[in-house]
Amino acid sequence: MSERLTIRTERLELVAGDLRILEMAVENRRQLAAELNAAVPRSWPPPVMLDTLDMHMVLLQNDPSLAHGWLSWIVIVRDADGGRTVAGIVCFAGRPDSTGTVRLGFALIPEFEGLGYVTEAAQALVNWVFRQPGVKRVMAQAFAQHIAYIRVLERLGMTPGEAGTHPGTTTYYLEKDAVRHTPVA
């Protein structure tokens, strides 16, 4: 595996996806498993992320430098026995906008939901992005019925703001000055 931007936490490894990794993530689980040295469950990828992955591949074709953390990160769970399993995606929608805001998103495959992995991954990504030049806040949008998603945003310290861009969503924000940095291994 070539060197990629990687973040390690207590239980996870986040690998920034380049175009090749994202193509494998969508089209070839076996190649993805070999490239990341991790098992890839049959339930991969998280269905809600397919459109995002497709959009990120188009963006990477036009600007490969976005692979340096500004789009999709593959979430790998590391178990106590040294096993590694691809579990989901945390991502940004690109570099910060003119206000210094980046948009956060995340999804896990069902067998890894409810175990704290997405909170751990999202916290690590927020810690990383607030160390990047020009980033002043993180935003995310959530539907009111997605209680687990909203709980993750709240655990990150995000607070609700105005209505989101999609009907029925609320925009959540976390200002850089308000962030609680959690140590990342």
Domain annotation for the chain: domains and CATH numbers: 6-178 (3.40.630.30)
For position 179, what pLDDT does the model report? 65
Number of CB atoms found within 10 A of residue 21's CB: 24
Is residue 154 predicted with pLDDT exceeding 80? yes
164 against 74, higher pLDDT: 74
The predicted model scores a pTM of 0.91
What are the pLDDT digits (tens) for 91-120? Answer: 999 999 999 999 999 999 999 999 999 999
Mean pLDDT of 154-177: 89
What are the pLDDT digits (tens) for 56-89? Answer: 999 999 999 999 999 999 999 999 898 999 999 9
> What is the pLDDT confidence band of residue 1, given thresholds at 50, 70 and 90?
very low
Phi/psi of residue 99, nearest 5 degrees: -95, 0
- Cα separation, 78 vs 87, in Å, equals 10
Phi/psi of residue 25, nearest 5 degrees: -60, -35
Which string of DSSP letters, residue by residue, matches 1-18? Answer: -----EEE-SSEEEEE--
- Cα separation, 115 vs 108, in Å, equals 10
